[in-house]
Amino acid sequence: MTENHPLPRPERRPRRLRRTEVIRSLVRETILPPQKLVLPLFLIDGENIAQPIDAMPGRCRLSIDKAIDECAEAMKLGVGAFALFPAIDPALKTPRAEHGLDESNLLCRAVKALREALPDACLITDIALDPYSSLGHDGLVSAEGEILNDETVDILAQMAVLHGQVGADIVAPSDMMDGRVGGIRAALDQAGQEKVAILSYTAKYASSFYGPFREALDSAPVDAPNVPKDKKTYQMDPANVREARIEMVLDEMEAADIIMVKPALPYLDVISQLREHSDLPIAAYHVSGEYAMIKAAAERGWLDERACMTESLTAIARAGADIIFTYAALDYARWFREDLA
């Protein structure tokens, strides 16, 4: 442009509100405190054990005493909710997953011990058969290789009642069987466990991001005749979003208290869709593969772990998640405290 025809100057300048950190903090739309996080814990039998998980740097399989220590540390940092996943001795696994209904099993003993040691902790237990199944599936497998829906729901309901009796605050069916939320709610109420809440894995996708988790628990489907090689007949197709809304409506009708999307980052659009159509609290699971990718890249110096992990968790909250399950909960809580200092 010539001097006689200068470029027009904008009247609206969004950069005014980006000029300093204090101003940016004032107008920040999404703030994620540690109180919104859930720390998943992998449990193992024994004492004084913290067994590193190769595919999940910084995370370990913990004996119950070590799990109590880690939960106590987390609570001091503001993280008060814990999702418990037992790594079961293979000798205790059977095709019908009977050990899942044994009150002396690892998960039940852990809930009792944590409840006694940390009465204010929120304990969330996984409701599915795969930790206890010698076939590695979330449901019963027929002789013909079909995942049996209604028969599985009957067992899941018994498992939920058991977990409520030993002290779980929230049971979290992760199996994706049809009708399991209603079956679990009815069983809990009939057993006098009305106070136990249900966090349903509403939209759990047949994702490729679960690999490190399955290594941690040795819970992948086994390679055997008439055993499905994957979980695609019950977990959701990654290409679908409308189907997630159908699952949401069903879970609401069956009295779920919280709904979940898993994984989180590849499904931010699903979180947003459910947020738009539901008034229930929404949880999202920042899964093992999402966590491990950042950890691995940071170890190689390719990414800034703190910045990328914080950005990822903030994005999940921005999409509409009220609660985030993440293996980075302790790290994030420490960073959050440092930022406040």
Return the active site residues.
204, 262
What lies within 8 Å, CB to CB, of 246 at 6+ separation is none
Q: Strand 323-326 vs strand 37-43: parallel, antiparallel, or unpaired?
A: parallel
**Distance between CA 295 and CA 263 in Å, rounded?**
17
| Residue 25 burial (C-beta neighbours within 10 Å; 0-12, 13-18, 19+) | exposed
- CB 287 within 8 Å of CB 263: yes
Q: What is each CA distance from 222 to 43, 175, 339, in whole angstroms? A: 21, 17, 46
